[in-house]
Structure 1
Amino acid sequence: MTSFNAPKFTKTAKELIYSVSNAFRILGRKYHALKVEVWGNCVYVWAKGQVSRFVSKKAFTQKFVDFRKAGAVGLDVVKVPFETGEYMVKSASKDGSYLVQCLTDKLTCTCQDYQTQAAAMNKACCKHCYATLNYLGFDSLSAYIAS
């Protein structure tokens, strides 16, 4: 199991979801010096002389989720023997695994992405949680909670 190291700084939900990297995913390519500003019910994305666009907050949130769901594809999930609701999910990028615990109203994970999301938004679902949900036959966290 990979040990958890506390983040060096805490991001806000706004910084996580309405990020430049998420804007790159929405636009489908990287731009030099892309800027992202949250305006009311939408997000203004621009790069000097290249792109200027308003994008809905819903699109940013969906892309945030889709990115993690895509990262879950192909991850190995193994049920922890003799433990109810505990699964080990192998890391895709390095040696080691993360522990995912299935509780009645949420899943928890020992990875940094989960810890950052939980600190910023009081809820979280990383790619390891999505891999576990897939393993259990659920397509979303809300479907798992409703079961």
Structure 2
Amino acid sequence: MVTPGNILYSAAAVRRMLGLSKSAQVTIREFFKVVWVWVKGQRPTFISKRLFKQHFAEWRKAQSRALQVTQRLDRPNTYTVRNESNGTTYPLETRSNGVFCTCDDFNNQLEFWGRGCCKHGYAVLAHLGFGSLRDYMTAKKVIPLRRASEPAAIYAA
């Protein structure tokens, strides 16, 4: 079962971050700002939660490079992302507040944090020329135009 903790702080993530084999025995314990990591046969260490979060996004970006993105002509802001290695296809929709997918990874992120971006979303962002979800959302921010009848002070902040 996927939880808010194990989606980010997993043994698989530790193995990837430390360059360990898939069979390496890893024990992890979550603390306030760090994760205690013990690999069998090695001394325990701490890894910051910030590094886990960076790895979380970078891993999905790396996985997205192998995916094929096709823009759907029948519906604006809609894309199809295909993974040739396993034959799966997911529809995605771009909105000003993010890229929305139907995959389990995205739905888990949405449930746990109210936002997110899966590998399919990163593939669409790259297709659109964006390096991150933050870049996309910043570019899509709508700044209201000031009407001549309104004081400029309400727009300064």
Compute the TM-score of the two structures, normalised by the length of structure 1. Answer: 0.87
The alignment partner of 2:67 has SS state of coil
8 Å contact from structure 1 (residues 108, 114) kept in 2: yes
8 Å contact from structure 1 (residues 12, 121) kept in 2: no
Partner of 1:4: none
Partner of 1:49: 41
Alignment of 1:88-127 (within 5 A): 88-127=80-119
The alignment partner of 1:135 has SS state of helix
8 Å contact from structure 2 (residues 15, 24) kept in 1: no
8 Å contact from structure 1 (residues 85, 101) kept in 2: yes
> Using the alignment, how far apart are the partners of 2:84 and 2:30 within structure 1?
32
> Using the alignment, how far apart are the partners of 1:92 and 1:12 within structure 2?
28
Number of positions where the alignment pairs a residue of Structure 1 with one of Structure 2: 138
8 Å contact from structure 1 (residues 43, 54) kept in 2: yes
Partner of 1:18: 9
RMSD between superposed Cα atoms in Å: 1.5
Partner of 2:152: none
> Using the alignment, how far apart are the partners of 1:48 and 1:97 within structure 2?
38
Structure 2, unaligned runs of 5 or more:
140-157
The alignment partner of 2:44 has SS state of strand
Q: Deviations over 1:6-36 (max 9, x none)?
A: xxx4x22211101111111111113633111
Higher relative contact order (CA 8 A, sep 6+): 1
> Using the alignment, how far apart are the partners of 2:16 and 2:78 within structure 1?
32
> Using the alignment, how far apart are the partners of 2:98 and 2:125 within structure 1?
11
Would you say 1:135 and 2:127 are equivalent positions?
A: yes
* Identity between Structure 1 and Structure 2 (%): 33
Structure 1, unaligned runs of 5 or more:
1-8
Q: For 1:27, which of 7, 18, 29 is the aligned residue?
A: 18
